[in-house]
Amino acid sequence: MAVYQEEQLREVSKQFQIYGEILHAETCKIGHINETYTATYDQGGTKVRYVHQKINRSVFHDPPAVMENIVRVTTHIRKRLVSQGEKEITRKALTVVPTRKGKPFYRDSAGEYWRTLVFVERTQTFEAVESPAQAYQAGFAFGQFQALVSDLKGERLHDTIPDFHNTRKRFNALQQAIAEDRINRAMQARSEIEFALKQEPLVDVLLNAFARGELPERITHNDTKFNNVMLDTGTGQAVCVVDLDTVMPGLALYDFGDMVRTTTSPTMEDERDLSKVQMQMPVYQELARGYLTAAGCFLTPAELALLAFSGKLITFTIGIRFLTDFLAGDTYFRVHRPNHNLDRCRTQFRLVESIAQQEEAMQAYVDHLS
């Protein structure tokens, strides 16, 4: 870490209710949005770690609202766990460390927002699921998160990123990008565009069901990638979920759908060998079993009936976001090679096809569990 950054971090650390001397800090490479550091302190001869993060204001335009959501949710989870007689609460619920003025964030002289969390020890994360057993833990972790916040009372949480999973708006943006074709890429993506436009009947299924009152609004995580699940290094069991910036009102199906997208195929999201991209049924079954073990107690029949479909929809939604960005000139997603966003789009669309081919069996398994 550069000297300036280290000096800045030392100054930031003094603003929070941490007692002891900061020994050193290092950049944490988990996540791609916020600037994150793991800092080690000497507290009475014992080394204790905390996480300091600078919130990315270009993504989250209202950091105080983000932090208000996080504090409300983590406080409620902690109370629920205590009432259930759980042990090691600070490992199972993220702990926001307040500033010396009692606020959940510190704003520095440059206008940047910082927060501090207690580091969750003896855990590890994985970029991709390595076994059906891990898929079970992923499903259980996010299902438990939803269950723990399902009875949170009070005002509606803030929308930290409005319309984050609104597939209709994403589809409209794709149509606009196709029509404008600002950098003449539409011909190169002709087959992908044709595929995307044919899927329009999928776009409004969840939105219309919600509008009709058939699907309830929930408090959801909205970024249910497997690397946001912390697993115990000894037992391999889920300890807690992290990266709560996008916790806000949403549909439970959005969370489950993104779990299907990110856990059930053995490839990375930019795999160029599409023959490797497939929805693996054994992994899906354990993911669904873990999720329903934790969340089945509060999900409605309408939600359960659309679980398999949600995986197809969210995968399609992310695919058209990649395609839109490709057509617009790669202005949103960071790319590392020519046609990177097009490769990502193709991978998602191939997974959509694989899910569609197995959707009936996927839903039958859910029906069997519930």
Topology (CATH) of 3-121:
Phosphorylase Kinase; domain 1 (3.30.200)
Mean pLDDT of the chain: 94
Per-residue pLDDT band for 33 (boundaries 50, 70, 90) equals low
Residue 275 pLDDT: 97
Residue 88 pLDDT: 92
Domain residue ranges of the chain, discontinuous segments joined by +: 3-121, 132-369
Q: Is residue 354 predicted with pLDDT exceeding 50?
A: yes
φ, ψ dihedrals at 277, nearest 5°: -85, 115
Residue 349 pLDDT: 98
Residue 77 pLDDT: 98
Q: How far is CA 303 from CA 25, 207, 225, 295, 319, in A?
A: 44, 13, 20, 11, 23
Q: How far apart are CA 140 and CA 144, in angstroms?
A: 6
- Is residue 205 within 8 A of residue 309, CB to CB? The reply is yes
Residue 199 pLDDT: 98
| Each residue's pLDDT tens digit, 175-229 | 999 999 999 999 999 999 999 999 999 999 999 999 999 999 999 999 999 999 9
β-pairing, 46-54 with 113-118? Answer: antiparallel
Q: Is residue 1 predicted with pLDDT exceeding 60?
A: no
Q: Is residue 30 predicted with pLDDT exceeding 60?
A: no
Residue 59 pLDDT: 83
Q: How far apart are CA 60 and CA 65, in angstroms?
A: 9
Average pLDDT over residues 162-176: 96
Residue 58 pLDDT: 83
Residue 27 pLDDT: 86
Average pLDDT over residues 309-336: 95
- Is residue 135 within 8 A of residue 286, CB to CB? The reply is yes
Residue 9 pLDDT: 86
Per-residue pLDDT band for 2 (boundaries 50, 70, 90) equals very low
Q: How far apart are CA 290 and CA 133, in angstroms?
A: 9
Q: Is residue 3 predicted with pLDDT exceeding 70?
A: no
Q: Is residue 290 predicted with pLDDT exceeding 70?
A: yes
Q: How far apart are CA 297 and CA 135, in angstroms?
A: 20
Average pLDDT over residues 153-169: 95
Return the percentage of the chain with pLDDT > 90, whole number. Answer: 89
CA angle 34, 220, 169 (to 5 degrees): 80
Return the percentage of the chain with pLDDT > 70, whole number. Answer: 98
Per-residue pLDDT band for 304 (boundaries 50, 70, 90) equals very high
Per-residue pLDDT band for 370 (boundaries 50, 70, 90) equals confident
What is the model's pTM? Answer: 0.92
132-369 CATH: 3.90.1200.10
| Each residue's pLDDT tens digit, 49-73 | 999 999 999 889 999 999 999 999 9
Three-class SS state of 93: coil
